[in-house]
Structure 1
Amino acid sequence: MKRPSRRFVPRLTQSLLRPVPPERAPMVFRTDAPPTAAARDYPLETMRAVAVFLLVAYHAIGSGPMSGLELDYPHPLRLFADFLIDLRMPFFAFIAGYVYGLRPIALGDYGSFITGKFRRLYIPGAIAATLMMIMAGLLGSGSARTWADFWQVYFFPYAHYWFLQAILLIFVFFGALDMALRGRFTAVLLVLSVVPYLFAGFIPSNVMSINAAIYLLPFFLLGVVFIRHLPRIAQAAPWLIGLSVLVVIVATATNLSLLRASGELSLQRYDVQSLAMGLAVCMLAMLTLPRVARFEALGPYAFTIYLYHVFGTAGARDALQAFGITAVTPIFLTSIVCGIALPVVLHRLSERWGLTRRYILGKKR
C-alpha cells in the first residue's frame, strides 16, 4: 500500500481552511435550500438527544454538594457530572452552528433573521426563567431572586438560561460578520476565536452572558465549518477521528492527573484542556455516533426539555424525599424520567394553541 506523502497533511490543512466557493456550496446564504442528503447522513439528532440527556442528568445530580442530590467526591455520579462539563454546552453550541450552516442568514435579511432568533430563543427563555424564579421564590431555593433583582435575570446569567442569551449574542454578531464576508473564512474565524476563548471572563459586566458567548463561539464555529466543508471533512474522516481520539486521551489524562493531585476534576472552562476536549468530542461524535431512531424522536422536544427539565428533576426529587425515599439511585433515575417527560407533555399541550406555540415553544405560528 502506498504511503501518504509527507506533504499530505499540510495540503489537507490548507484545503480545510479554504472556504467552499459559492458555486460549489449552493446552500450558503440560501435559507430556502433543503439539507443535502450528505448532511442528513450525520447523527445530528442523536447528538442533540445525548446533549439533552447529559444536561438533564447534570441537574438531576446537582452542581455540587450543596445542590441536587448533594453528592461530593468521590461519589461516581459527582465524577460523572463534573467530568462532562467540557461536553454538555459545547454540544449544544456545535449543534446550533451546524443548523446555522444549513440555513445561514440571507443577504439583506439581517433584521428578520435576528427578530426570528429573538422570538425563537429569548422570549421562551425569559418566560421559562420567570416561572423558575417564581417557583424558586415560593420554595425558598437557591435560585430565588429578590423583587429588586428580578429584572436582572433578563439581562444577566441566570441558572442554565445563560446559554440562550449567549447564543443569541453569537447570532447577532456572527450573523452580521458572516453576511459581510459572504460565508467565507469561517475556518479562519474558528482559529481566531481561540484567543478570546482563553481569556473569556475578562469582561467585567457580563451583560447578556457575553463571556459565555465567547466561551461557546469556537464550538458554534466548528459546527458551521463542519457543514460548510462537509465533503472535505468526510474525505479526511479517518485522520480527523484519529486526531480527535488522541486529543480526548490527552485531555482526559490531564484531567485525571488533576483528580489524583487535588481529589477533584477540573471545573475550569476557559483553558486549553477544556477547549481541546470540547472540540475533539464534538468532531468525534459527528463522525462516529450511529443514528438512533429512538434518540432522534426526542429532537422536536429538545428545546422545551432544555427550558423546563429542571421543574421535572427538582419536583421528582422533592416528591420522593417527602415520601421518605432518600436512596440516590431511584431519585436519580426518576428525576431523569420526569425531567424529560414533563417538558414533552408541556410541549404537546402547547402545540394546541397559537399563543402557547408562540410564547412557550417559540414557534412562528
Structure 2
Amino acid sequence: MRRDTLPYHVVELRGLACILLVAYHVVGVPGTGMQVEDGSLYRYATSSFELIRMPLFTFLSGLVYALRPAAGGALPSFFAKKLRRLGFPFLVVSTLFYLVQTHAPGANGSFAPNAMWEIYVYSYAHFWYLQSLFLIFAFVALLDAARLIDRPVPFAAALGLAMIGCQTIHTESNPFSINETFVLLPHFLLGVAVTRFRDRLPRRALLGTAGGALLLGLALHQASLLGAIHHYFGWNSAVALLCGMGGAVTLLHAMPSSAVFRTVGKSSYAIYLHHAFFTAGARVLLHKLGYGDAAVFGVALLAGLAGPMMLEAAAQLRPWTRVALVGKA
C-alpha cells in the first residue's frame, strides 16, 4: 500500500459526521432550531452523539494531515494554504451568516453578539471550529517542524499532556475558541498517531481498546441522558474522551464503502460552512406553512446537505468564489 493513502473509508466517514452535524443543527439547542422539548426523541437522538460529532471531524483531520505533515522548510507554504482553506471562508461566511442572523425574521438573531467584530475574535455559531482547527494545525505543525513528535514515546507524552489539558485548561473569555482547541487537540493527535504509527499499532489491540473505551463512555453518557445518574458530561470530561477517541477509531474501522456517504463526504467542508443557511431557511418556511416536526426535520436535513453541494458547484465557476466560499484555489 502506498504511504500517502489510508486503508479506510475516510470520505464516507466524513459524510457520516456531516449528517450527524446537520441533524444536530436542525434540531438545535433550546431556543434555536426546531425548538422541540428537552425530552423529545429528536433532542435525545442528537444529544446521544454530542461527544462523538466534533471529535470525529477533528480525528479525521489529524488522520489525513499525517499523510503530508508540515516540515521545517515548508512552514510558510503550509500556513498560507491553511489561511486560504480556513481563514478566508471563516471571514466571508461568518460575516454573511451574522448579517442573515441579525436581519432575517426567525433566524434566532438573539444568539448573535451585539458588536460584529466579536464574531472574528470569540467563539461564534459553528464557525468556532475553524478558529480551533487552525490553532491545532499551527501547534502540531510547529511540533512536527521541530521533529518533536516523530517518534512514539515523545508523541505519547504529547498526547498525554493534551488529554490533561483538555480537562483542565479553560478561559472565561475564550478568545479564538482556545477552550475548544484544547478540547479537540487530543482527537487530532490520535488521528495523527493512527496514520503515523499504524505499522506499530496491532489492529486487534487497537480495536479492543477503542471498543472498550467507547462502550464505557456510551454507557456513562446514556446514563446521564436518561437520568440514571445526575451528572452532565461536557466536552472536556473524561467520558467525552472515551466516547470521542474510542468512537473515532471504532468507526474508522467499521465504516463500509457507501456511495451515499461518499457523495456527502466529498462536500463535507462546504456542508460544514454553509449548511446553517439552508437548514434555517427550510425550517422557517415549513414552520410558517404549518408542517409538523417530522417534515421539518427531514426537509431541513436534506436542504442542509444538498444546498451546500449545489453552492459548492456554483462557486467553482469563479476563482474568487472558490477561495471565499469553499477555500479552494
TM score, norm. by length of structure 2: 0.93
Q: What are structure 1's unaligned runs of at least 5 residues?
A: 1-34
Q: CA deviation at 1:290?
A: 1.2
Q: How does 1:87-102 map to 2 (within 5 A)?
A: 87-102=52-67
- Structure 1 residue identity aligned to 2:172: P
Aligned to 1:9: none
Aligned to 1:195: 164
Q: Quickly say closer, same or farther: Cα 1:264–1:67, change in 2 above 3 A.
A: farther
Q: Deviations over 1:197-242 (max 9, x none)?
A: 0113x22331111111101100000010010012233xx2222222
Q: CA deviation at 1:106?
A: 2.2
Note if 1:156 corresponds to 2:122. Answer: yes
Q: CA deviation at 1:261?
A: 3.4
Q: CA deviation at 1:110?
A: 1.2
Inter-partner Cα distance in structure 1 for 2:257 and 2:3? 14
Inter-partner Cα distance in structure 2 for 1:277 and 1:146? 30
SS of equivalent to 1:230 = coil
- Structure 2 residue identity aligned to 1:224: V
Contact 1:82–1:265 (8 Å) recurs in 2 = no
Contact 1:57–1:336 (8 Å) recurs in 2 = yes
Q: CA deviation at 1:262?
A: 6.7
Contact 1:98–1:223 (8 Å) recurs in 2 = yes
Aligned to 1:68: 33
Q: Work out which structure has the larger RCO, using CA pairs closer than 8 Å and 6 or more positions apart in sequence.
A: 2
Contact 1:83–1:265 (8 Å) recurs in 2 = no
Aligned Cα root-mean-square deviation (Å): 2.1
- Structure 1 residue identity aligned to 2:173: S
Note if 1:315 corresponds to 2:291. Answer: no
- Structure 2 residue identity aligned to 1:313: T
Aligned to 2:316: 351
Aligned to 1:77: 42
SS of equivalent to 1:172 = helix
Q: Percent identity?
A: 30
Q: How does 1:85-234 map to 2 (within 5 A)?
A: 85-139=50-104, 141-143=107-109, 149-181=115-147, 183-184=150-151, 185-200=154-169, 202-233=170-201
Q: Deviations over 1:129-169 (max 9, x none)?
A: 11111111112543457896101111111001100000101
- Structure 1 residue identity aligned to 2:157: V
Inter-partner Cα distance in structure 1 for 2:118 and 2:168? 24
Contact 1:79–1:265 (8 Å) recurs in 2 = no
Q: How does 1:33-72 map to 2 (within 5 A)?
A: 36=2, 39-64=5-30, 66-72=31-37
Note if 1:332 corresponds to 2:286. Answer: no
Inter-partner Cα distance in structure 2 for 1:266 and 1:217? 21
Aligned to 1:257: 223
Range with greater deviation from structure 2 (101-110 or 238-247)? 238-247
Range with greater deviation from structure 2 (294-303 or 315-324)? 294-303
Note if 1:237 corresponds to 2:237. Answer: no
Contact 2:11–2:265 (8 Å) recurs in 1 = yes
SS of equivalent to 2:280 = helix
Q: CA deviation at 1:263?
A: 8.6
Q: What are structure 2's unaligned runs of at least 5 residues?
A: none
- Structure 1 residue identity aligned to 2:177: S
Q: CA deviation at 1:38?
A: 8.3
Contact 2:270–2:326 (8 Å) recurs in 1 = yes
Contact 1:237–1:287 (8 Å) recurs in 2 = no
SS of equivalent to 1:360 = helix
TM score, norm. by length of structure 1: 0.84
Q: CA deviation at 1:97?
A: 0.5
Contact 2:12–2:258 (8 Å) recurs in 1 = yes
In the alignment of these two chains, the number of paired residues is 325
Query: Based on CA coordinates, which of the two structures has the bigger radius of gyration?
Result: 1
- Structure 2 residue identity aligned to 1:132: F
Q: CA deviation at 1:264?
A: 8.0
Inter-partner Cα distance in structure 2 for 1:271 and 1:124? 31
Q: CA deviation at 1:363?
A: 1.2
